[in-house]
Amino acid sequence: MGSELGTQATVAALVSFGLQWLKTSKYFPWITTETEKLNRWLAIVIAFLSGFGIYATWDHGTVSITGLTAANAYHALVRCIQQWTFQQAAYRTIVAPPLPGAVQDEERQMAAGK
């Protein structure tokens, strides 16, 4: 369990930093800091793929999925949810931590035109 948790945390941090890099990359102009819904869906898809990847085997260009039972599908879904949660935690704490209260208040006032 310990190494699995470490792997999920590492993947989550790498994905969060990768998504942040994509937002400033000239190669992906449709992914920016302003495309919040697209960014959220992209994070969900990546979490699904990385969470599901625990139950898939990659061998010379072929993906093999074995033991596809209802119980395993449930566990894969749980892993996807866990991975998305890890990604959000990594993003909110490491990549883009919240601003202090005074700074947030000033930004709100500037946005409101005060």
Q: What is the mean pLDDT of residues 23-29?
A: 85
Report the sign of the C-alpha dihedral through residues 48, 52, 56, 58, in that order: positive
Number of domains, the chain: 1
pLDDT at 104: 67
Q: Which H or E run includes 38? A: helix 36-52
Q: The pTM is what?
A: 0.59
- pLDDT band for position 53 (cuts 50, 70, 90): low
* Residues in contact with 57: Cβ distance below 8 Å, sequence separation at least 6, in sequence order: 63, 64, 65, 66
Residue-number span of the structural domain to which 79 is assigned: 2-112
Among 5-9, 29-33, 86-90, top mean pLDDT goes to 86-90
Mean pLDDT estimate for the chain: 78
**d(C-alpha 84, C-alpha 77), whole Å:** 11
